[in-house]
Amino acid sequence: MTKSSALGLPAKLLGALPPGVRLVVGGTVVLGASSYIFLALAGHSLDTDQVAGVSVLWTVVMSVGYGLFSPVELELTRLVAARDAAGHGPLPAVRKVLLLTLGVLAVVLLAILSASGPIADRLFGGDRGLVLGLGGALVGLAISSVVRGALAGLGNFRAYGAQLAVDGGLRILFGAMVPIFGLHSALAFSLILVVAPLAASVIGLRSVLGDRRAGPAPAWREVTRGLVLLTGSTLLAQLMVNAAVVNVKLLSPSSTALVAALLNAVVLARVPLFAYAAIQASLVSALSGAAAVGDHREFRKVLSRTAAIVMLMCAVAGLPTVLLGPWLIQVLFKAQAVLGSLDFLWLVLGTLCYMLATVFGQALLSLGRHQRQLFSWLLGTVLMVVVTLVPGDIATRVEVGYLVGAAASAAAMLWSLFRSLSEQPAVSGEEQSAAVDQRPAGALRSS
């Protein structure tokens, strides 16, 4: 391979990705890096029990929080994009989705309040302050998801990326300030997950509110259609990718060192997953566009390229993670030496299968096959639980359970994709061109 071709490879890979990715990459990198730095700062500032509490809090927010509010972002993206293509403003759709989101948030916060004692005792070692931090973090995540959904629907990926970057930057900044001011408190670190996303949302909110175009409000049926199934799929997906840490805490509450080390290992193994976050919004848009006009060739091309890039990212990041992971978590996070390279291998392979399942799931979503996506995640989750409950070393059980569950979900979704595409007739090139010509101005915008 020549030097020029080697230098051109990254550009070719970026060119193969859906439009809009480049503008989000920077913000995604900062937000992804902030997770590592945030947890590293907590590991160097808090004792083992406090680190375990912050680790579980972070895991619950990443699983339950994103499971609840990531579908809100995706659905609002769809609603706003459709109205923007028709020349309508985003605010009517934003208001309805915001009301729905606040209703879901209120129910969740009420449940947390009513069960604050058991939650604190079971997950946070009796620290009720972390229960408060959990509720606040969910508030921040809910609001930021609504704002990001509106920005993505408008195609404003510059502001979208800036919101991600500011969120991550504030987590790093505040995380560094906590020990400087002598606040060796798990609550202080948990409140960072509240303040950072809310402050970052102000940037995106200004862009959304600045669009004063009028337009009809969507019907409630349109707002909620498919959202329940999508929420179920997202919750199961987030449960799967974050279950290892929580399962160890539930099955062996005294293994605080293993809980903290496993979280650090999961974070390292999930490096490619943070990179994929920059692809997801644009991937759904590209696949949905191809599906809408019946362009199976374009659909398969986008899907196969994205899957290939995902596998490449996992291979490049996974090998050093397996080889150096046990040493890195001790140096970066002050983790105890309770995990080996084999533990990292299971986690890396699980992440590869999980990312492929996510890609295939977005393709099913674009085809309107919400039920098949949900069934695939449910199948994988059941198998993950079965493997986790098998007698044996607890770390191995949760790691292999993650791998088996993710692999089963990916396989089920791939089978469903072949079946779904065969059920939908392809449209000829002339019919595709006619469909595109009939779309209103603005519908062909790219970012």
Residues 6+ apart with CB under 8 A from 30: 164, 165, 168, 169
Residue listed under structure tokens 């972070």: 58
Q: Which two tokens stand for residue 447?
A: 């970012």
Q: Which two tokens stand for residue 395?
A: 């770390």
Q: Which fold has domain 23-225?
A: Tetracycline Repressor; domain 2 (1.10.357)
397: left (phi over 0), alpha (psi -120 to 50) or beta: alpha
pLDDT at 445: 41
Single pTM value for the model = 0.72
d(CA 390, CA 382): 13
Eight-state DSSP code of residue 218 = P
- What does each of the 447 residues of the chain score in pLDDT, given as a tens digit? 454 444 455 555 555 555 566 668 788 888 888 888 888 888 888 888 888 888 888 888 877 888 788 889 887 877 777 677 667 788 888 999 999 999 999 999 999 999 999 999 888 888 888 999 999 999 999 999 999 988 887 878 888 888 999 999 999 999 899 888 877 788 888 899 999 999 999 988 888 887 778 777 788 887 887 788 888 898 899 889 888 888 888 888 888 889 889 989 998 998 888 778 777 767 776 676 677 667 888 889 989 988 998 999 999 999 999 999 999 999 888 888 899 999 999 999 999 999 999 999 988 887 878 889 999 999 999 999 999 999 989 999 999 999 999 999 999 999 999 999 887 666 555 544 444 444 433 333 433
Domain boundaries, the chain: 23-225, 229-447
Length of the chain: 447
pLDDT at 429: 53
Cα–Cα nearest to 372, from 300, 302, 308, 421: 421
Cα–Cα nearest to 83, from 213, 245, 263: 213
DSSP string, 426-445: P--HHHHHHHHHTSPTTTT-
Q: Both ends of the chain: CA-CA distance in Å?
A: 32
Cα–Cα nearest to 193, from 172, 220, 214: 172
**How many separate helices (H) and strands (E) can be counted in the chain?**
18, 0
**43, 282, 292, 366, 373 from 420: Cα distances, Å:** 47, 21, 14, 11, 11
Residue listed under structure tokens 């692999």: 407
pLDDT 10s digits, 307-329: 998 999 999 999 999 999 999 99
Eight-state DSSP code of residue 424 = S
Whether 249 and 259 have beta carbons less than 8 Å apart is answered as yes
pLDDT at 253: 82
pLDDT 10s digits, 232-280: 898 899 889 888 888 888 888 888 889 889 989 998 998 888 778 777 7
Whether 273 and 355 have beta carbons less than 8 Å apart is answered as yes
d(CA 233, CA 308): 23
Q: Give percent above pLDDT 70 in the chain.
A: 87
DSSP E strand stretches across 38-77 = none
Exposed / middle / buried, residue 55 (Cβ in 10 Å: 0-12, 13-18, 19+): buried
Q: What SS3 class is residue 374?
A: helix
Whether 240 and 401 have beta carbons less than 8 Å apart is answered as no
Exposure class string for 23-48: b at 16+ Cβ within 10 A, else e: bbbebbbbbbbbbbbbbbbbbebbee
Exposure class string for 306-344: b at 16+ Cβ within 10 A, else e: bbebbbebbeebbeebbeebbebbbebbbbeebbeeebb
Report residue 290: phi and psi, to 5°. -65, -40
d(CA 241, CA 262): 12
pLDDT at 168: 92
Q: What SS3 class is residue 252?
A: coil
Q: What angle do CA 139, 144, 148 make, to 5 degrees?
A: 155
